[in-house]
Structure 1
Amino acid sequence: MRHRFEYALAWILVRGIGMLPRRLARTLAIALAWLVFALHARLRRVGMRNLELAFPDKSKSERQKILRGTFTSLGRQLAEVCLFPSYTRENVSEVIVYDGFENFDHAQRRGRGVLYLTAHLGGWELSAFAHSLQGHPLRVVTRSLDNPYLEALIKH
């Protein structure tokens, strides 16, 4: 029952945000991320603990600022993922700018495969999606979600 509830909530969120203009979608998604930040004490504690381990020399206020920025970034990413269906080969360049794409083109012309390695930072989901829109399919290694309904939603 919990998995179905999570799926229904995610479906409403994804479809609802995805119907909005990009600016409004981002504003709403960031507001939702801030709401989660405000209401979910456990996430704040875990985030602060991780930042203490990563940045022991930073002050508590600096780590709090980083954590708030992380939630803002997550909100932006939520909006972009929800907007994926509206992006096309023709309009994706309005959202993402490739830097160094000539390196990929060069490797392709040589008939060689290309292996991308990326940290789990920033808009990597959007860059992978944009790359596939340019006609270059990607394979991504992930762990399946615990909720099979959400897993199906993401793969769709």
Structure 2
Amino acid sequence: MKNLKFLPFYVLSIIPLHLLYVLSDMMFILIYYIIGYRKEVVKKNLTIAFPEKSEKEIRKISRHFYLHFCDMMFESIKTLTMGKRAVKKHIKINNEELIKQLYEKNKSIVMYSAHMGNWEWNAFFPNFFQHKVTAFYQPLSNKYFDELMQLIRSRMGVLCVPSQKGYKTLMQLQQENKLTLNLIIGDQSPSAHPKASKYWTEFMHKKTAFLTGADVISHRSDYAVIYPQCTKIKRGVYETKFVLLDESPKASDKFSLIEKYSKALEENINQQPSLWLWSHNRWKLSA
């Protein structure tokens, strides 16, 4: 059987979530107190983002981030066996009607997402919406884990699309008369190469470079653009409220969506700082 090579993860996945959180607490002790995984990167990022906060407050956010980060890893593994009924208990959609209205208007959607909350659980969206859900991704160098992540993301019906083939795939689906909801994560750091496409704007108190792909695709396709504002209600329960950034971006200024996205993401981070991926070296580029 093809998926037998992922048997250890399936075994983990059938463990009840409340017991997986016990393992998560143990992993937190290991990576936070013993290994110290990327603690300096996290501290540097938090200090840049929150210059007004004391060292004690920074440490508190950092600790809560690592607790959430460990939870998210085990929650993502749980995706392998979680049923549709369980999904409804863990994912709450605040304004599902916005997506339904866009569907009735015959509009495909770019969901301009981020490494916020448990972004891997966006793989559950096919359970909520009529749109065909796609997710852009960068293939991992490790083939085993690349296949595992695609398996996790596609199990509920998400079509995983390599980012390099993203726009071409969307146009093919459009020719097939399929309305799509397309998940594009936009908070990775662009390449440092001088010719790499990037856009600079003020974000979390610092000039920050953003990838331009989602903006370019949205303007070309004229798909409606939304941001999924994520909050964590309690352990293992997330709520998403969709923020409409632009319904017809073709008529908007170039890079206007990046400006709107960065402001929406900043507001989301300020709501619950521990939910963002602070271990990513977000500000490795300087303007």
Superposition TM-score, scaled by structure 1 size: 0.81
Q: Residue 140 of structure 1: SS of its match in structure 2?
A: strand
What residue number does 1:18 align with? 13
Does 1:131 pair with 2:125? yes
Does 1:143 pair with 2:138? yes
The 1:119–1:54 alpha-carbon spacing in structure 2 relative to 1, beyond 3 Å, is: same
In 1, Cα distance between equivalents of 2:55 and 2:37: 17
Equivalences for residues 53-132 of structure 1 within 5 A = 53-126=48-121, 128-132=122-126
- More strand, by proportion: 2
The one-letter code sitting in structure 2 at the alignment partner of 1:19 is I
In 1, Cα distance between equivalents of 2:29 and 2:140: 24
What residue number does 2:266 align with? none
Q: Residue 141 of structure 1: SS of its match in structure 2?
A: strand
8 Å Cα contact 1:88/1:133 also seen in 2: no
Superposition TM-score, scaled by structure 2 size: 0.47
Tell me the alpha carbon deviations over residues 23-72 of structure 1, each in whole angstroms, 9 at most, x when there is no partner.
Answer: 11123123213311122235111111111121222111111111111111
Does 1:48 pair with 2:27? no
Q: Residue 122 of structure 1: SS of its match in structure 2?
A: coil
In 2, Cα distance between equivalents of 1:17 and 1:154: 15
8 Å Cα contact 1:30/1:72 also seen in 2: yes
In 2, Cα distance between equivalents of 1:15 and 1:29: 17
Q: Residue 85 of structure 1: SS of its match in structure 2?
A: coil
Tell me the alpha carbon deviations over residues 88-122 of structure 1, each in whole angstroms, 9 at most, x when there is no partner.
Answer: 33331111111111100111122211221122111
In 1, Cα distance between equivalents of 2:92 and 2:109: 19
What residue number does 2:248 align with? none
Query: Any stretches of 5+ residues in structure 1 without a counterpart?
Result: 1-7
Percent identity (aligned): 21
The one-letter code sitting in structure 1 at the alignment partner of 2:35 is H
Larger relative contact order (CA 8 Å, sep ≥ 6):
1
The 1:104–1:33 alpha-carbon spacing in structure 2 relative to 1, beyond 3 Å, is: same
In 2, Cα distance between equivalents of 1:29 and 1:42: 15
In 1, Cα distance between equivalents of 2:59 and 2:7: 31
Query: Any stretches of 5+ residues in structure 2 without a counterpart?
Result: 152-287
The one-letter code sitting in structure 2 at the alignment partner of 1:37 is Y
8 Å Cα contact 1:131/1:137 also seen in 2: no
Aligned length in residues: 146
In 1, Cα distance between equivalents of 2:39 and 2:126: 34
Larger radius of gyration: 2
Shift of 1:141: 2.2
In 1, Cα distance between equivalents of 2:63 and 2:12: 21
The one-letter code sitting in structure 2 at the alignment partner of 1:49 is K
Does 1:37 pair with 2:27? no
8 Å Cα contact 1:18/1:82 also seen in 2: yes
